[in-house]
Amino acid sequence: MTKILLRYLNLLVLTLLVVIVFSFTLGYLFPGDVYTNLTGLESKAEALRYLKVDSDAGFFSLFIAYFSNTLVGQWGVSSITGEPLFSEVLLSLPATLELGFYALLLAVVVGLPCGFFAGLKPQRSLDMSILGASAVMYSFPVFWLAMVFILIFSLNLEWLPMSGRVDLLLNVPTVSGFIFVDILLADNIDKGHAFVDALKHLALPTLSVSIITMATLIRAVRRSTLDVMRKPYIIAAQSRGLSSAQIFLKHGMRNALLPILPIMAMQVTTLITNVMIVESLFSWPGMGHWLLQAIYQQDYPAIRTGLLAVAGAVIVLTIIIEVLSRLVDPSREKFDRVAV
Amino acid sequence: MSRFNLYQDEFHPSPWRQTWREFKRSHVAMAGVVVLAIFAFIAFFGPLISPYDPTLQNTDALLVPPSWDASGTVRYVMGTDALGRDLFSRLIHGAQVTFGTSVMLVLIAMLVGVAIGVMAGMSNGTRASVINHLLDALMVIPTLLLAIIIVAILGTGLVNSMWAITLALIPHFVHHTRNTVRELMNKEYILAARLDGASKTHIFVHSLLPNMIEMLVVQWTIALSVAILDITALGFLNLGAQGSTIELGAILADSVNVVYIAPWNIALPGLTIFAMVFAVNVVGDGLRAALNRRLRH
């Protein structure tokens, strides 16, 4: 086990290193001056002071300086606002993770039971309708779905708000960046009202993001339930006289869930992409919204930082899920190549 | 003269023919093939069937509803947009660009991905591990972010967004190719070929490729649906097709401002994208099911 954990640690460090090297080369690839791209500072002297290097520093020593700055959170400043990029990322990354987390939660809560029902009675009408629904859900363009939701629920029915995370009049101070935690921490506001308001703001973006993940999950769970229920140990359990509920709860469900975690690990990138697209439609103040503003305003240092933050978050999340799946599933090959 | 028959069947269908026979049994999948054929026809002959020039602005007919609406006119079958352009013609041209470019870029991604995947799968040691780590790093960058970076370097445009999506799809093919090659390399017939002194190229062309091709076709359909969704998403966010290039996502982006007064401008392009992706997915599923059934026989 220690060996596997070490291999994952190695993978984590190496992949993060590759991402940092990639973000460093972006400084050369983006239009404009390298020092400006790496720090966001206009004048070369200030940029050199920020990186703590001499003006005659070569490619390699510049990278070392950039690397150590990146590790301590000195990610440069935005060339538009002049704010430190690290703190801007700290403000918007939690919003993205929050939306992604709730979408994943909704997908799991709806997707698992649907997948089980479909997989237990294959080729019946229930299975066919669930499978058909998941195929339809899987084919929606996420931005179009979000727009249709806005049109129906926000513009025509006026049930739900169409932008932001919480009513601005509530004036919730940002502490952690996660809206519900912030509401709990805030003083002198009506917490119940704020909770309901935040939930209302959350409903449409979460629904639009989770539809695709839900469809993937339903299909994966159905497939693996089908496979598991054909295994010899299920027949053995049947011959011992267990009821079908017992068989499913004791033997079927747990074994069917094992292959799901690695599939979820593969889905993290798709999920984050969809979150970033939906954010821009709902003006959700997350990484996607922030990065799109950065590209429209040609704020190159911000894009470099966005790469560091988003890719870093995806790597960490994927590896956490992978390690979890190794922990719950000892049957996976010990020397199976570890991969993101 | 009667011939001696050892087997009941005179004719043994090839694997492809068997798959096609299994595939035909699913009516839904066949319907998907028909829809895809229509889109392919549009991609080749679209400009011939579109009734108007998609950029022609008719200021006398702004936001005309579709013909099935009470106030619609049959001159504009699917209505017009805020600049008086015929939506039907725009959809045909948009579908042509979206579908055509998606097919092209998935083909490119597959060629590159299979080449790298075979190299990674057949080699081991340092070379394989370097390739793997680089690809892992590429795989954790979301498509949208990759597109933003490429747009920042090269500027906006349909071709640049195509590069971004191709780059994002390559690891997907590499991953599956590498796993399949790893699996196949342990088979006895590969060992036999190697003992006979076959070169790596020979093994790849004669032993690996015929066994991989079905997996590749299925992966191709999956990648195609991802590519269509991504290319329209980038077009919608103004990172892809610009201005005169008509693309389904860009049509949607043009219509955002009139969503409330002219919802058909949002509904119809969206449904076109949906039909395209749905048909690709249905065909892919049917293909996968047919392959599974054939292998079980």
Closest among A271, A258, A293 to A208, alpha carbons compared: A271
Question: Cβ contacts of residue B258 below 8 Å, gap of 6+?
Answer: B63, B81, B82, B265
Helices (H), chain A: 2-29, 34-39, 44-51, 59-71, 85-120, 125-138, 142-149, 179-185, 191-229, 232-239, 244-247, 253-257, 260-282, 287-296, 300-328
List all residues of chain B from 133 to 162 with a beta carbon under 8 Å from chain A: 133-134, 136-137, 139-145, 148-149, 151-153
CA torsion A171-A177-A181-A182 (nearest 10°) is: -20
Nearest to A151 among B249, B266, B269 (CB): B266
Kindly state whether B258 is in contact with chain A, defined as any CB-CB distance less than 8 angstroms: no
What is the structure's pLDDT at A335?
44
pLDDT exceeds cutoff 60 at A179: yes
Q: What are phi and psi of B86, to 5 degrees?
A: -70, 120
List all residues of chain A from 118 to 157 with a beta carbon under 8 Å from chain B: 135-136, 138-144, 147-148, 150-151, 155
H or E element at residue B12? none
Q: What are phi and psi of B12, to 5 degrees?
A: -100, 115
Kindly state whether A300 is in contact with chain B, defined as any CB-CB distance less than 8 angstroms: yes
Nearest to A303 among B152, B236, B256 (CB): B152
The predicted complex's ipTM stands at 0.85
- Residue A311 to residue B141, Cβ atoms within 8 A: yes
Q: Can you list the residues of chain B whose pLDDT is less than 50?
A: none
Q: Which of B27, B126, B149, B252 to mutate to test the interface with A (most CBs of A within 10 A)?
A: B149
Q: Which of A19, A277, A307 to mutate to test the interface with B (most CBs of B within 10 A)?
A: A277
Q: Determine the Cα–Cα distance for residues A101 and B90; give it in Å rounded to an integer.
A: 38
Spell out which residues of chain A touch residue B259, defining contact as CB-CB under 8 Å. Answer: 147, 150-151, 155
What is the structure's pLDDT at B41?
92
Contact present, A203 and A195 (Cβ < 8 Å): no
Q: Determine the Cα–Cα distance for residues B175 and B192; give it in Å rounded to an integer.
A: 26
Kindly state whether A230 is in contact with chain B, defined as any CB-CB distance less than 8 angstroms: no
- Residue A18 to residue B133, Cβ atoms within 8 A: yes
Q: Could you tell me the two tokens for A36?
A: 């400006």
The identity of residue A207, as a single letter, is L
Give helix A260-282 / helix B143-154 axis angle, nearest 10°: 50
What is the structure's pLDDT at B273?
93
Q: In 3-state terms, what secondary structure has residue A186?
A: coil
Contact present, B266 and A148 (Cβ < 8 Å): yes
Confidence grade of residue A262 (pLDDT, cut at 50, 70, 90):
confident
Give helix A142-149 / helix B264-296 axis angle, nearest 10°: 130
Alpha-carbon gap: B4 to the closest alpha carbon of chain A (Å): 42
Alpha-carbon gap: B7 to the closest alpha carbon of chain A (Å): 33
What is the structure's pLDDT at B187?
87
pLDDT tens sequence across A54-64: 777 778 888 88
The residues with which A77 forms a beta bridge, in sequence order, are: A84
Q: In 3-state terms, what secondary structure has residue B117?
A: helix
Enumerate the domain spans of chain A.
87-293
DSSP B148: H
Query: Class of A87-293 per CATH?
Result: mainly alpha
What is the structure's pLDDT at A340?
45
Q: Burial level of A136, CB count in 10 A (0-12/13-18/19+)?
A: middle
Contact present, A57 and A15 (Cβ < 8 Å): no
List all residues of chain A from 190 to 219 with a beta carbon under 8 Å from chain B: none
Q: What are phi and psi of B80, to 5 degrees?
A: -125, 165
List all residues of chain A from 265 to 294 with a beta carbon under 8 Å from chain B: 269-270, 272-273, 276-277, 280, 288, 291-292, 294
pLDDT tens sequence across A291-326: 998 888 888 889 999 999 999 999 898 888 888 888
Q: Could you tell me the two tokens for A159?
A: 């049930």
Spell out which residues of chain A touch residue B257, defining contact as CB-CB under 8 Å. Answer: none
Closest among A299, A283, A300, A264 to A103, alpha carbons compared: A264
Spell out which residues of chain B touch residue A311, defining contact as CB-CB under 8 Å. Answer: 137, 140-141, 145
Alpha-carbon gap: A212 to the closest alpha carbon of chain B (Å): 12
- Residue B133 to residue A144, Cβ atoms within 8 A: no
- Residue B232 to residue A269, Cβ atoms within 8 A: no
Closest among A225, A210, A232 to A257, alpha carbons compared: A225
pLDDT tens sequence across A207-218: 999 999 999 999
What is the structure's pLDDT at A215?
92
What is the structure's pLDDT at B8?
66
- Residue A142 to residue B233, Cβ atoms within 8 A: yes
Domains and CATH numbers, chain B: 35-296 (1.10.3720.10)
Contact present, A172 and A186 (Cβ < 8 Å): yes
- Residue A306 to residue B266, Cβ atoms within 8 A: no
Give helix A287-296 / helix A260-282 axis angle, nearest 10°: 50
Average pLDDT over all residues of chain A: 85
Kindly state whether B252 is in contact with chain A, defined as any CB-CB distance less than 8 angstroms: yes
Closest among A15, A5, A29, A210 to A102, alpha carbons compared: A210
pTM, two decimals, is 0.87
- Encode A168-196: b = buried (16+ Cβ within 10 Å), e = exposed: eeeebeeeebbbbebbeebeeeeeeebee
Q: What number of C-beta contacts closer than 8 Å exist between A and B?
A: 132
Residue of chain B whose Cα is closest to the Cα of A20: B137
Nearest to A315 among B140, B151, B282 (CB): B140
Whole-Å CA distances, B161 to A81, A321, B187: 27, 31, 40
Question: Cβ contacts of residue A119 below 8 Å, gap of 6+?
Answer: A127, A221, A222, A223, A224, A225, A226, A229, A256
